[in-house]
Structure 1
Amino acid sequence: MEITGAVVGVLSLGIQTTQCLVHYYTSVKDSKIDTTRTVKKLNYLFSILQGLHNNIRNRKFRPNEQQILQAIESAVRECEGYIHELHDEAKKFSESPPTNTASFARTAFRRLAYPFRESTLLKLAGVIDKLCSHLSLALHTLQLQDLTCVEKNIRDNIKITDSLLASRMSADIREWLKAPDASVQYNETIKKRYPNTGNWFVDGPEFSNWLVKPNSFLWLNGFPGCGKSVLSSNAIQRTLTLRHSNSAVGVGYFYFTFNDASKQNTSSILRSLILQFINQLKSDNPALGQLSRLRNVNTYANPTPSDPALLSVLRTLIRQFDNVYIILDGLDESPRKSYRGHLLDTIQEIRDWSDSRLHLLVASRDEPGIRDYLHPANHEDIKIKSHFVNSDIEAFITGYLRSSRRLQRLSQFHPLIQEVLTSKAEGSFRWVECQLNALESCPANKTRVDSLLASLPHSLSQTYECMLLDIDEDLVKDARKVLTLLCTAPQPLTISELTKALRVNLGAEDILRICPGLVVINQNTMRLAHSSLRQYLQSEQISQSRASRFHVGRLPAQRIATRSW
């Protein structure tokens, strides 16, 4: 859709007339009447007309912008009479005088005096004010739409992240830092997100205040599987939008990962944040020199920079921005008995900097040890409750039912599935996902569907127990090996590494069939589907259940790979 030619023509006439009037009033130097105010009004009107004209002349309006298009055309048409009135006034300033001498003298005098009469200036001011009132609103609406599109319709998240990771640092320092790439988890989580889910958080007052309040802090907490990582990714996406429009904004984020030891400790997070911020600054920033000196000192004696040294670099980097947003997801996935204590001390030290530029958001399960360390104020403590995410879960179920090919067989039962799962989810996306996985293998028979929906497990633990018990007896031995190896491996295993450890020639599809809904493949690596699954497999609860044979001890993966089954 395009703006009509008539509307563009009216704006062009307004621009031409305004320029003519400004030129006239600024070129006459001998007038005793002060026309400064009139010229200012005309210049303001010119900027509005020019802004509208430039914005709409070659613009292709999208179908969802129909109302904006109509509003702009309506505003310009309402002003058409005023623009012609202004044009008529301008013509009076330059009309040709009569040919006889006496009439010429009288007319020339009136023509020169007319523009500077108080009544003329007042008339012009009234017309200009009316035009500015109508057209400024149209221009503001158009500009607001453009800003909204920038914020709401950023579709290529990978490109945004890549721009933040553009190489502005020497290759040797980048190699020396060996910083984990947090963008992998970010992109993976964003892909899983369904449209408009999580907006209750990023559009809410707590997050909005966090964006602007100096030295702000938020702790986003909830039970396993309630969608914390999706909410964190929404927050990252929103801050990246700010960064996209303002280079003085710095954005750093990190995802702690239960199945990757390289993404669980203090050094990992500091190196990742440092790399992200350096890539957002010019190559001559002070922190780069600081890192170069660190590298020269540590190359031989201690190839890895110390945490205090990294903290110092991070603090220097933060001072290079007007505002810095740091978002840390999955703090509870840092092991409690090894890394977590030092990590919490580091977070507290960063908070103690009391830097007005810094805005810190942490997401994790609500565990006593974490709560005691973070000690959030009431306005900083964002508890994810089921009634907050009910609409998100409903949207998640709708999207899943539409996108799953295997569930199209049950299309006639989709409304029933939607209703039952939404009512029983109690805020757990992971619980819903597991039930949808189970429904994919359900026959398209009302009796069977009703039976499955009537016997849904009440909790995530019961769900995992049912999923384990549903594994074919012939596959149980291999399933135990797969789950145990993935549960204890310090880093994600490639398919070849996993099959080598299993001593069985299996493909990726074979492993997914052996452990349906329990493992996932991403970029040729295999991992457990969720951190809550590992917690369940290693818990006392499973050892007392019917699925006890799947209980995983805490032996290292190397020893498990060599044990007999």
Structure 2
Amino acid sequence: MTDPFSIAAGTAGLISLGIQTTHTLIQFYSSYKHRDSNIARTTEKLESLLGTLQVLESVLQHRSDDPLIHQIDSSVQHSREIILELQQECAKLTTSSSNFTWSATKVVGRRAAYPFRDSTLNKLDEDVGEMRSHLSFALDVLQLQDSRTLQDDLTEAKSVIELIRTTQISVAIRDWLRAPDVSVNHNAARAKRHPGTGMWFVQGPHFSRWIIQPSSFLWLHGFAGCGKTVLCSTAVEYAYRQRGRESHVGVACFYFTFNDESKRDESAMLRALLLQLADQLSDGHSVLQHLHDAYKSGPPPALTLREYLRQLIKKFDRVYLLIDALDESPRYDQRESVLESITALREGAPTGLHLLVTSRDESDIRDALGTAVEEVKLKTAGIDDDIGKFVAQKLETDPVLRRKWHGDREKIREALTQRAQGVFRWVECQFRALKNCPRSRYHLDECLRSLPKDLDKTYERMLDSIENESAAGARDARRVLTMLCFAPRPLTVPELLHGIAVDLEEPSSLDRQRLLAGGADDLKEICSGLIDFGVQELSSDSEDETPIITVRIAHFSVQEYLESTRIKKQNASFFALSAPSAHAEIARICCVYLLDPELSSGELNPSKLQDFPLAHFAALFWHHHYEKSQEEASGLYKLIEKIFLQRGSFSTLFKLHDIVDGAWDTRVQLSLPSNGLAAPLYYASYLGFSWIVEKLLASTSDEKEANEKRVNAQGGAYGNALQAASYRGHEVVVKMLLNKGAKVNTQGGCYGNALYAASSGGHETVVKMLLDKDANVSAQGGDYGNALQAASEATRRW
């Protein structure tokens, strides 16, 4: 039997010659490709061939002893004659290239010089096409085996998903740190990956260097929808394989997520990375315990998290950090601090830190990452090959597409791959058109000919189709898109169905006649191609094993299009969204829902909550959406006022979620009696709702005594309304309370008194207002003893 090492050496030599030859041809024709479309086409094919050759070379370097070498050798040898032909072409160009000038090639309007003749270019195209066909087969054999090997590694009981999920850190520490669960994103990305795709990257030179070189920093960037997240998930799994081979290697990842507010900022990223690395160390729990002891009341500030992460990195010989979709952190809100944190982590980090990030190529990200980063632009032959495989598998596995277009699969694959321009998301959207296309060659040709040129045109066509179908369907679709784009977390199917059923026309109400009986199937139908479904991961200590189906926007590019100025000039303008008005709409939906007479009367129990699946979401996030509605918020005043003035609605709201005293506790407190809640004035004061405070305090002069009793009522974590408003710095409310007889030196609550609370919050104007009312500076309270010490600490902190 022939030695595989000698076979590999011979095959590798032939591939090396192919790389040199192809590179020479590219260098020559690249100088002229901008002058002629045929030359540009030939150059593009040569570049694609070069990519395939380089990937295959990289694979063979690491697999010279693989038994599969025998299977692929014959495929590569089939290209021998073509490689030699190309070498001869190179020799011609090298010896006579000095005689070629573009102006000399033009003779009476046609190309005359040899290298630019149509016949020469066509022959070159044929050779390249045949060679790519042989080499692609060889590469597929290796990649399929490698994919199987990877799958074998990951099907063990403790797979990558289990490694990403923490198991050694106590539940108490995890609940306190509240690190986002990145396994949800990783699972979703893996589900979209198709066999053999992404191998060009993880087996290519960029990733190989990243794995090995000290202090390596790799940035993958490309258009929206080009498969960055799926590539990142593949890289994560290969990095974990590295961890399996060597001790003292740490791996952690984070996926920024545009439609989940718990995964969009610096703190979320740092907490997730910190928890994952701590779980991979024998003393990781004690490190986090120390952090917990220093910040028991809530998550530590970002600077502290960053410093603890640095400490953990130093405990490993090597650490691989992979951060996906930087661009999905809001640019003008949270992204700057994210980029600062990444830069800070690299500065002064040990040489064992390897950092990989993915994003679109946006100016602020490029400026922040600097020149030290190695870049991979995701518009390569490898991406085109992956798209081709993706299309082929979809046409084979989708029952509708397989039945309709079995004999035209290659035609469709070629058309979609050529038109995709490296964007997976665009390809994904075209399958819907193919499914709806009448089954004839004529209609298929028309469908392929009229494919939209980019994602914008694709989304415009999809939305225009929804609007043309029915006005009611378009209204429901717009509500679905509004809620999914701006809800701070993915919504469950029942939550979304009830959100659609809320009628905001006066008199606003929950209209059960509007509930879609078909559930998830109806949602798929009215927003086909624009939304996606997943399974909500259950917490490790959850007793309920029933999977919860969630709904989210199908892709970041969908929301970007809906919020763009471009949509307003197109046929789909009905679906244009703006953040303030969308948040105002969702806040109104929440308030109308909480005011439902059936929900707000009688006993609040699990059975009732099943009938009102949106209730908990509404209680958790009504204020979040109110705050983000900005100039649109005025339309919410009457609804919020109704909740505070109607005892049943008020009680229901704060049993479902106590936004003040239980801000970090999202559990429903069904057993809490109504008289266990603080008064509406306390909550209105904390939230700064001056118009509601005014309503609650409105009275005639002869009710002064009752008013003073109400304004000084004890209750809640902050003791009374004045301390709550002082801590939050609500100057107008503080003034109103003082004018109505609030006692400035009343003791109680977590800060002891109002002056201490205002000082601790760093609210100088409120401090002055309290001092003008003879607040006692020396009164004891809180962690720092008195207001003076609290003010000093606040100055240092802010």
1:443: Cα distance to partner? Answer: 2.2
Q: Distance in 2 between matches of 1:558 and 1:373?
A: 31
Q: Distance in 2 between matches of 1:227 and 1:525?
A: 22
Q: Distance in 2 between matches of 1:444 and 1:345?
A: 54
C-alpha contact (below 8 Å) 2:310/2:349 kept by paired residues: no
- Correspondence for 2:378 among 369, 380, 384: 384
C-alpha contact (below 8 Å) 2:262/2:268 kept by paired residues: yes
Distance 1:205 1:68, change over 3 A: closer
Q: What is the match of residue 317 of structure 1?
A: 312
Query: Which 5+ residue runs of structure 2 have no aligned equivalent?
Result: 1-65, 72-144, 502-513, 536-548, 593-798
Query: Which amino acid in the other structure matches residue 488 of structure 1?
Result: F
Distance 1:151 1:249, change over 3 A: farther
Q: What is the match of residue 474 of structure 2?
A: 476
Deviation digits for residues 85-141 of structure 1 (CA, Å, limit 9, x no counterpart): xxxxxxxxxxxxxxxxxxxxxxxxxxxxxxxxxxxxxxxxxxxxxxxxxxxxxxxxx
Q: Distance in 2 between matches of 1:358 and 1:556?
A: 44
Deviation digits for residues 190-237 of structure 1 (CA, Å, limit 9, x no counterpart): 121111111111111111111111111011101111111111111101
Deviation digits for residues 428-454 of structure 1 (CA, Å, limit 9, x no counterpart): 111111111221222222222111111
Q: Distance in 2 between matches of 1:155 and 1:464?
A: 36
Q: What is the match of residue 293 of structure 1?
A: 290
Q: Distance in 2 between matches of 1:490 and 1:458?
A: 32
- Correspondence for 1:458 among 450, 453, 460: 453
C-alpha contact (below 8 Å) 1:164/1:280 kept by paired residues: no
Q: What is the match of residue 491 of structure 1?
A: 489
Q: Distance in 1 between matches of 2:367 and 2:482?
A: 32
1:411: Cα distance to partner? Answer: 1.2
C-alpha contact (below 8 Å) 1:169/1:279 kept by paired residues: yes
Secondary structure of 1:406's partner? helix
C-alpha contact (below 8 Å) 2:147/2:195 kept by paired residues: no
Distance 1:229 1:67, change over 3 A: closer
Q: Distance in 2 between matches of 1:267 and 1:311?
A: 9
Distance 1:334 1:67, change over 3 A: closer
TM-score between the two structures when normalised by the length of structure 2: 0.50
Q: What is the match of residue 394 of structure 1?
A: 388
Q: CA RMSD in A?
A: 2.3
Q: What is the match of residue 228 of structure 1?
A: 228
Query: Which 5+ residue runs of structure 1 have no aligned equivalent?
Result: 1-63, 70-145
Matching of residue 421 in structure 1 with residue 416 in structure 2:
yes
Q: Distance in 2 between matches of 1:216 and 1:344?
A: 17
Secondary structure of 1:411's partner? helix
Q: Distance in 2 between matches of 1:149 and 1:532?
A: 32
1:147: Cα distance to partner? Answer: 10
Q: Distance in 2 between matches of 1:245 and 1:258?
A: 34
Secondary structure of 1:360's partner? strand
Matching of residue 276 in structure 1 with residue 276 in structure 2:
yes
Distance 1:556 1:174, change over 3 A: farther
Query: Which amino acid in the other structure matches residue 260 of structure 2?
Result: D
1:396: Cα distance to partner? Answer: 0.7
Q: What is the match of residue 406 of structure 1?
A: 400
Secondary structure of 1:540's partner? coil
Distance 1:67 1:349, change over 3 A: closer
Secondary structure of 2:206's partner? helix
Matching of residue 527 in structure 1 with residue 552 in structure 2:
yes
Q: Distance in 1 between matches of 2:459 and 2:412?
A: 20
C-alpha contact (below 8 Å) 2:278/2:287 kept by paired residues: no
Q: What is the match of residue 444 of structure 1?
A: 439
1:386: Cα distance to partner? Answer: 4.3
Q: What is the match of residue 430 of structure 1?
A: 425
C-alpha contact (below 8 Å) 2:164/2:252 kept by paired residues: no
Q: Distance in 1 between matches of 2:463 and 2:359?
A: 27
Query: Which amino acid in the other structure matches residue 485 of structure 1?
Result: M
C-alpha contact (below 8 Å) 1:431/1:460 kept by paired residues: yes
Please identify runs of 4+ aligned residues in structure 1 that moved more than 4 A: 64-69, 146-153
Q: What is the match of residue 627 of structure 2?
A: none
Output aligned runs, 1:97-496, within 5 Å: 151=150, 153-156=152-155, 159-282=159-282, 285=283, 287-300=284-297, 303-377=298-372, 380-408=374-402, 409-471=404-466, 472-474=469-471, 475-496=473-494
Deviation digits for residues 238-283 of structure 1 (CA, Å, limit 9, x no counterpart): 001111232321110000000001000111111111111111111x
Q: Distance in 1 between matches of 2:215 and 2:371?
A: 13
1:152: Cα distance to partner? Answer: 6.8
1:151: Cα distance to partner? Answer: 5.0
C-alpha contact (below 8 Å) 1:407/1:440 kept by paired residues: yes
1:148: Cα distance to partner? Answer: 9.8
Deviation digits for residues 335-359 of structure 1 (CA, Å, limit 9, x no counterpart): 0111101111000000112311100
Q: Distance in 2 between matches of 1:65 and 1:207?
A: 24
Matching of residue 551 in structure 1 with residue 576 in structure 2:
yes
Please, which moves more after superposition, 424-433 or 310-319?
Answer: 310-319
Q: Distance in 2 between matches of 1:456 and 1:212?
A: 43
Q: Distance in 2 between matches of 1:513 and 1:309?
A: 47
Q: Distance in 2 between matches of 1:329 and 1:403?
A: 29
C-alpha contact (below 8 Å) 1:278/1:317 kept by paired residues: yes
Q: Distance in 1 between matches of 2:235 and 2:332?
A: 29
1:164: Cα distance to partner? Answer: 4.6
C-alpha contact (below 8 Å) 1:488/1:556 kept by paired residues: no
Query: Which amino acid in the other structure matches residue 292 of structure 1?
Result: Q
Q: What is the match of residue 566 of structure 2?
A: 541
C-alpha contact (below 8 Å) 2:170/2:285 kept by paired residues: no
Query: Which amino acid in the other structure matches residue 174 of structure 1?
Result: R
Distance 1:478 1:332, change over 3 A: same
Q: What is the match of residue 106 of structure 1?
A: none
Query: Which amino acid in the other structure matches residue 453 of structure 1?
Result: L
Q: Distance in 1 between matches of 2:287 and 2:385?
A: 48
Q: Distance in 1 between matches of 2:351 and 2:148?
A: 29
1:384: Cα distance to partner? Answer: 1.0
C-alpha contact (below 8 Å) 1:326/1:361 kept by paired residues: yes
Secondary structure of 1:154's partner? helix
C-alpha contact (below 8 Å) 2:164/2:182 kept by paired residues: no
Q: Percent identity at matched positions?
A: 41
Secondary structure of 1:167's partner? coil
C-alpha contact (below 8 Å) 1:486/1:528 kept by paired residues: yes
Output aligned runs, 1:36-75, within 5 Å: none
Distance 1:164 1:458, change over 3 A: closer
1:290: Cα distance to partner? Answer: 3.5
1:67: Cα distance to partner? Answer: 8.2
Distance 1:163 1:345, change over 3 A: closer
1:150: Cα distance to partner? Answer: 5.2
Q: Distance in 2 between matches of 1:392 and 1:451?
A: 25
Distance 1:67 1:368, change over 3 A: closer
C-alpha contact (below 8 Å) 1:487/1:552 kept by paired residues: no
C-alpha contact (below 8 Å) 1:202/1:234 kept by paired residues: yes
Q: Distance in 2 between matches of 1:151 and 1:414?
A: 29
Q: What is the match of residue 779 of structure 2?
A: none
Q: Distance in 1 between matches of 2:247 and 2:581?
A: 45
1:556: Cα distance to partner? Answer: 6.2
